[in-house]
């Protein structure tokens, strides 16, 4: 067999507790989902505002399908850039306070497109060690030098910036770190970028829609803005649909249109989804109760979870990680929760550092306090017996 050696690699992953399996979801996203024929209370989704199954978005998608069909048929630069895409870019730019915005099919493609379009061999990227994989891979594709700094260590970052003699400098960071739930110190990062003439790329995948009074994300949360900032956010999490966008200066957006390969050489995502996202943008701004529900749920968890061995990490976001440690114990806890009808994913290396396997609880505005109570009671019980 030409690929028989892969069996040994797969067996090793299994023995290390690192083998991953997909589940078959048979329902729409929500507080309760149907998986493999059984209903579960789910704390797995990044549908933070509970919009993925919202009637207004479904209606907008249907109207979009009736007008534009179900596929865009071409890349944005050929004939795939629809009126719906154009309206959505204008709405997103206005929402987050930038002159212009550009849609991408995924956040991964957006990060790859930005870094590779702006930087090359003679440039440097400074990256937080806990950044998302897409940011790390983007630097590799660009062939720029990458210097990583310890998580949130601004002293180390400043030393690196001082020592750099590179032509162009770019600091890249998650705004909300996806596995820890903590928030990057954006104002302080921006000051360093201003002091040492660097750009700042913020990946606000988990902050957009969640942070700020109107859900405008990390920049609203910190009341911060600057032409040095390149802002990226995804549209498949709090926005409830699919895609991503980059917002910034007109010059930045035009350069991405000309040079971002992940924008130029791919089919535009369906206009019907852009139509749904226009409805989502309205709900994000108008329904602040959804963000308040997230705060209430996180507060309930912190107040009622009584752990002796496991560690609930500090986070004010819907991401509430519980570090357990070993891969096998984390898998065992996740499996025991499933037996109780509760889904919480087990996150293991390389997604998180070795020895820091964890449960990643994701709250949604679709959850009730009763849902949170069931989760807390199950966790308090399991820590005593596993």
Residue list for the binding site: 20, 107-108, 132, 178, 206, 234, 351
Catalytic annotation present for 315? no
Give me the catalytic one of 105, 134, 142, 178: 178
Q: Which of 76, 85, 237, 367 is catalytic?
A: 237
Residue list, annotated binding site for substrate: 20, 132, 351
151 is catalytic: no
Active-site residue flag, 169: no
- Could you write out the three-class secondary structure of the chain? CCCCHHHHHHHHHHHCCCCCCCCCECCCCCCEEEECCEEEEECCCCCCCCCCCCHHHHHHHHHHHHHHCCCCCCEHHHHHCCHHHHHHHHHHHHHHCCCEEEEECCHHHHHHHHHHHHCCCCCEEEEECCCCHHHHHHHHHHCCEEEEECCCCHHHHHHHHHHCCCCCEEEEEECECCCCCCECCHHHHHHHHHHCCCEEEEECCCCCCCCCCCCCCHHHHHCCCCCCEEEEEECCCCCCCCCEEEEECHHHHHHHHHHCHHHHCCECCCHHHHHHHHHHHHHHHHCCHHHHHHHHHHHHHHHHCCCCCCEECCCCCCEEEEEEECHHHHHHHHHHHHHCCEECCEECCCCCCCCCEEEEEECCCCCCHHHHHHHHHHHHHHHHHC
The single residue of 206, 216, 334, 367 carrying the catalytic annotation is 206
Q: Which residues does the annotation place in the binding site for pyridoxal 5'-phosphate?
A: 107-108, 178, 206, 234
Catalytically active residues, by annotation: 178, 206, 237
């Amino acid at each position: 067999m030409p690929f028989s050696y892969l069996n040994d690699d797969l067996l090793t992953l299994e023995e290390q507790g690192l083998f991953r399996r997909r589940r078959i979801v048979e329902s729409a996203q929500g507080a309760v989902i149907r998986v493999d024929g059984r209903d579960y209370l789910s704390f797995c989704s990044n549908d933070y505002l509970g919009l993925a199954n919202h009637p207004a978005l479904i209606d907008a998608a249907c109207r979009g399908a009736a007008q534009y069909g179900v596929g865009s048929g071409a890349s944005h630069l050929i004939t795939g850039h629809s009126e719906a895409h154009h309206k959505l870019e204008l709405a997103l730019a206005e929402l987050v306070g930038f002159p212009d915005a550009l849609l991408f099919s995924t956040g991964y493609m957006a990060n790859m497109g930005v870094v590779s379009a702006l930087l090359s061999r003679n440039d440097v990227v400074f990256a937080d060690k806990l950044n998302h994989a897409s940011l790390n891979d983007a630097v590799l594709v660009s062939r720029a030098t990458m210097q990583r700094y310890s998580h949130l260590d601004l002293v180390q970052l400043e030393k690196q910036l001082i020592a750099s003699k590179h032509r162009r400098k770019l600091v890249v960071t998650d705004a909300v770190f996806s596995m820890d739930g903590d928030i990057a110190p954006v104002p302080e990062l921006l000051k360093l970028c201003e002091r040492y003439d660097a750009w700042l790329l913020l990946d606000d995948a988990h902050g957009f829609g969640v942070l700020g009074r109107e859900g405008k994300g990390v920049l609203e949360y910190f009341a911060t803005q600057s032409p040095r900032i390149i802002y990226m956010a995804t549209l498949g999490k709090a926005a409830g649909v699919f895609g991503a966008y980059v917002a910034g200066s007109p010059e930045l957006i035009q350069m991405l249109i000309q040079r971002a390969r992940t924008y130029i050489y791919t089919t535009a995502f369906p206009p019907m989804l852009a139509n749904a996202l226009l409805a989502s943008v309205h709900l994000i701004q108008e329904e602040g109760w959804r963000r308040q529900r997230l705060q209430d749920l996180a507060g309930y968890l912190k107040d009622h979870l009584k752990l002796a061995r496991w560690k609930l990490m500090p986070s004010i976001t819907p991401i509430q990680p519980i570090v357990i440690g070993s891969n096998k114990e984390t898998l065992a806890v996740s499996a025991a929760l499933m037996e109780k009808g509760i889904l919480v994913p087990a996150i293991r290396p390389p997604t998180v550092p070795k020895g820091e396997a964890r449960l990643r609880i994701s709250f949604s505005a679709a959850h009730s306090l009763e849902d949170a109570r069931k989760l807390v009671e199950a966790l308090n019980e399991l820590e005593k017996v596993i």
